[in-house]
Chains A and B, each alone.
Chain A
Amino acid sequence: MELRQIKNRSLVNFRMLVRILGWLLGIEGVFMLFPAATSAFYGESDYLPFLVVACLALFSGAVMARRSKPRFEHLGRRDGYLLTASVWVVFSVFGMLPFIFSSAQASVSDAFFEAMSGFTTTGASVMVGTENLSHGVHLWRAMMQWVGGMGIILFTLAIIPMLNHSGGMQMFNAEVTGITHDKIQPRISQTAKSLWTIYLVLTVVLILLLWAGPMNLFESVCHAFGTISTGGYSTSPDSIHAWDSVYVKIVMIIFMFLGGVNFALIYRFIHGDFRTLRRNDVLRTYLIVIGLTLVMFVISIIYRRQVYDWQSVTVDPLFQIVSTITSTGFTVVNFENWGSFVLAVTFVLMFSGACAGSTSGGAKIDRLLYLFKNAHNEIYRCIHPRAIKSVKVNGKVVNTELVNKVIAFLCIYMLLVVGGGIILASMGVPVVDAFFSAFSCLSNTGLGAGVTGVGSGYEILPDAAKWVLSALMLVGRLEIFTVLVILTPTFWRH
């Protein structure tokens, strides 16, 4: 960048931000044409609101992209954070409009909550009577999760060549989950393309597999979108029980699991790099955690005499575990009867989430691994104070700054859960519901407090609480720092 520009530039390159936001809105507009077409195909009146909102998004996108004339194109670190956070908000604002004007007839608070929950792949729903929603609305809910799962920015990086520079880098860092960000190709657009290709292929395979089962094509598409993105919206009010099929559950277990694996790792696996896969501590921990919790669940289920058939001790608990750890949030029928021990373990699963670089939520296993290895070292040092120990993950030594960052992350994460819970409680939400909802939304799991057996679903929350939870979802999806840094005074100061 030219020296003169550095001197004259404002803190944030607003005009460039507006222009890029314009491009992105255009993309959202194009996405909305799909539900419009679906509604039209099924002969529903909802095609109109979708079409109108799509045109609105395309129009305002075009105006923003064309009318905003940036003095220079350079995007710095601040721009990256601000852009990424605002993109998610703007997408949700436009994404909620169809809910308000279509047959869903949601209030503004409900619609925004639903949209944010969709894009952040939380999957918490405030819509009652989902069986009455039109096909278009169902598809839109599923598509929001699908786009949000891999990342709005990542999708844009893959298709807009203009972002293929260091500004795109900043946005990539602000959006992709994980502590460090694996690049699998030298240029950011290639990385984005590779990741999206894998995502697309997995989605298509899943659609075909589900279609081969008891679901029809429309249901398969919606559930595939909600599964691979680890979102958790369903087209049926009974969620996946409506099909009561072992086949569907097993297919979904596999793909929820894959949705929780680092996509860079899947890329390497496809390209024949098995060594990285074998050496990957995080993946191993992911598998071990699933295995261990399965044993705990099964013991608890047997102890509570909840065994009705062979599925109750195999597929059902496994489904629940994978659904929770990957932050998808589908539940099996009998879950609330499995006892409080299972519920306690569920908390841990919600907190941990799956691997970084995946579509899952939570704090990510990578971070917990850092934390535990570091804690182990600290305890060892109590006895051998002179010992030099380093945190080693995936065969590589992690430097101390990164460990510190991870610990800070986890502390803030817990503070947000507590803070969110207290705010909700102050709004008159029952304490269990308040803390459970805050936790579930921050970790993007979307399990309702109803599953605890004591609380109830999201629909009973006051409107203000829905906005608080929407904010928590965004903070959780962008992994805290991206959003919080914008709220600090330092961000807006030279």
Chain B
Amino acid sequence: MKIVIAGSGEVGSHLAKLLSAEEQDICLVDEDSRKLAVLDANYNLMTLEANPTSFAGLREAGAGSCDLFIAVTPFESNNIVACSIARNLGARRTVARIDTYDFMDPRNATHVAHMGVDSVIYPEYFAAQEILTSLRRSWARIWFELHDGCIILAGVRLPENSPLAGMQLKDFAFTNRHFHVSAIKRNHETIIPRGGDRMEAGDILYFTTTRDHIADLPELAGKTRHSIRRVLIMGGSKMAIRLVNSDERDEFKFTIIESDPAICARLTHKCPDCEIIQGDARDTDVLVEAGIADADAFVALTPDSETNILTCLTAKEFGVKKTVAEVENIQFIAQAEGLNIGTVINKKLLASSTIFQMLLASDTSTPKCLALADAEVAEIEARAGSRITRTPVKEIALSRDMTLAGLIRDGQGMLITGNTVIEPGDRVLVFCLAGALHKVEKMFI
């Protein structure tokens, strides 16, 4: 697939590297030759120094004949213009990164489409959704559901006293037929486990299960449930504003701590329902004053990843049950997980999820996709006559970097075992390590 990416900022270059590893043809357009030079010399992709909002630049980049055009420059309006130009030149699909809800509002959908934007990436919105999900199910690190929860993938960190710690997977599978351990993240590495692998305390286990059995999972893994009500947010960023203004805001009681008085003044406008406190949340006194002792959850959303991680640790010492940190440096995600930060939010991964969704999108379905730091979870529909449907799963030679976790057939979720035969039209939940998605996809077409 030929993909043109406009903007080589953090999100743009992350996408370019990722998609290049997925064997797509990438052309990256930006005006800053220095940023491009590094990518050009080290990755298997083409770069072009040109203005992404000019006809000449996009024509030279081949936007006219590309299958996917992704505009991820720092400015929303530039992205919209770039998409519009690309569409008029003949790009098949366009995606723009936005940072206001306006362009996502269903009421404006036709207008946005008219401008030449097929889909939008709105990392702040996705982040808000993800934070809400994690607050609701505070025991899970990752929560990914298909078809209204028919099939659920939940990432759980095994506590020290977990009954599962030290158990071999084959023994676990023998006694628990309703759970499938799709992957294990240990230290910095995600592995697709086999029967002989053991689960250990401190691992993040990715369980796949169906709606009827998800309720048993926390107990099985030795986790306690907490209901979250009072949430403390550090940093009045766009993400925070999006979070406190989401539709489900009544469920939680939010307090925002922001150090900049000017931003605080603006926040009172934008977030009328929540309490605003001016002060530096790195200061314990401020935290105490903001009510950290009574808070159920602490969400750190400043632009500084290190501050977010460290303050979350402080909050844990105050007895907060759930912590969420925005970590923009992908290398730090594993560190944050190791330090027992409840949920990690990363804009780049959220954007990649959307793009993977677009790569997998056929005409009939809109698959869901979730990008993790070094793996992807995707929903893929099996086509008639594809390799995956011909034999039972155990006879398909799957490479070691992927696993088939569960599937949805006629609206019913079920787990996949070796004897399962996948039928055309089944929507399969696939867990694969980074760079393997295109291999998986080939088996389904």
Contacts and interface: CB of A to CB of B under 8 A. Distances in A.
B23 A164 contact: yes
A166 interface: yes
A289 B43 CA distance: 36
Contacts of B21: 165
Interface in A163-204: 164-166, 168-170, 173, 183-188, 190
Interface in B1-55: 2, 20-21, 23, 25-27, 33-34, 40-47, 49
B44 A166 contact: yes
Contact of B25 (A2, A3, A185): A185
Contacts of B334: 3
A179 to B, nearest CB: 12
B372 to A, nearest CB: 14
A10 interface: no
Contacts of B188: 2-4
B42 A166 contact: yes
A384 interface: no
A2 B375 CA distance: 12
A399 interface: yes
A171 to B, nearest CB: 11
B42 A169 contact: yes
Contacts of A3: 188-189, 334
A396 interface: yes
B195 to A, nearest CB: 23
A185 B34 CA distance: 20
A351 B21 CA distance: 41
Nearest to A167: B44
A327 B21 CA distance: 39
B333 to A, nearest CB: 12
* B27, B33, B47, B374 — most chain A CB neighbours (10 Å): B33
Interface size range on A against B: 20 to 34
Nearest to B334: A3
B26 A186 contact: yes
A165 B24 CA distance: 11
Contact of B34 (A4, A166, A396, A399): A399
A2 B44 CA distance: 18
A169 B41 contact: yes
Contacts of A173: 41
B50 to A, nearest CB: 11
Contact of B43 (A2, A4, A169): A169
B44 A165 contact: yes
Contacts of A184: 46
A57 to B, nearest CB: 29
A165 B20 CA distance: 8
Interface string B178-200: 00000000011100000000000
B46 A186 contact: yes
Contacts of B26: 186
A168 B44 contact: yes
Contacts of A164: 23, 44
Nearest to B42: A166
B27 A186 contact: yes
Nearest to A77: B42
Contact of B49 (A183, A185, A190, A396): A396
Nearest to A185: B46
A173 B43 CA distance: 11
A183 B26 CA distance: 12
A284 B156 CA distance: 65
A18 to B, nearest CB: 22
Nearest to A397: B33
Contacts of B45: 186-187
A165 B42 CA distance: 10
B189 A187 contact: no
Interface in B322-379: 334, 374
Given A164-B23, A190-B25, A396-B49, A183 B189 contact: no
Interface in A192-228: none
Nearest to B374: A2
Contacts of A165: 21, 44
A483 B179 CA distance: 56
A198 to B, nearest CB: 18
B165 to A, nearest CB: 22
A166 B33 contact: no
Given A3-B188, A4-B188, A183 B33 contact: no
B49 A188 contact: no
A451 to B, nearest CB: 40
Contacts of A399: 33-34
B25 A186 contact: yes
Interface string A110-151: 000000000000000000000000000000000000000000
B23 A183 contact: no
A186 B43 CA distance: 10
Contacts of B23: 164, 187
A344 to B, nearest CB: 38
Contact of B189 (A2, A77, A166, A396): A2
A164 B21 CA distance: 10
Contacts of B374: 2
B33 A187 contact: no
A169 B2 CA distance: 19
A190 B62 CA distance: 15
Interface in B288-334: 334
Nearest to B34: A399
A183 B44 CA distance: 10
Contacts of B44: 164-166, 168-169, 187-188
Interface string B377-390: 00000000000000
Contacts of A186: 2, 25-27, 45-46
A168 B46 CA distance: 14
Interface string B403-415: 0000000000000
A37 B46 CA distance: 41
Nearest to A161: B23
Contacts of A169: 41-44
A183 B47 CA distance: 8
A440 B349 CA distance: 54
B47 to A, nearest CB: 8
Given A2-B189, A399-B33, A187 B42 contact: no
A201 to B, nearest CB: 23
A4 B76 CA distance: 38
A4 B191 CA distance: 13
Contact of A166 (B2, B43, B47): B43
A3 to B, nearest CB: 4
A190 to B, nearest CB: 7
Contacts of A166: 20, 42-44
Contacts of A396: 49
B42 to A, nearest CB: 6
A168 B43 CA distance: 9
* A166, A185, A188, A396 — most chain B CB neighbours (10 Å): A166
A279 to B, nearest CB: 12
B73 to A, nearest CB: 20
Interface string A390-405: 0000001001000000
Nearest to A163: B44
Contacts of A170: 42
B25 A187 contact: yes
Nearest to A170: B42
A187 B46 CA distance: 7
A169 B20 CA distance: 12
Nearest to B62: A186
18 contacts: A2-B374, A4-B188, A165-B21, A166-B42, A168-B44, A169-B41, A173-B41, A183-B40, A184-B46, A186-B2, A186-B26, A186-B27, A186-B45, A186-B46, A187-B23, A187-B45, A396-B49, A399-B33
Given A186-B27, A187-B25, 16 more contacts: A2-B189, A3-B189, A77-B42, A166-B20, A166-B42, A166-B43, A169-B41, A169-B43, A183-B40, A186-B25, A187-B23, A187-B44, A187-B45, A188-B44, A396-B49, A399-B34
Q: Which 5 pairs from chain A and chain B are nearest by CB? A: A186-B25, A186-B46, A3-B188, A183-B46, A188-B44
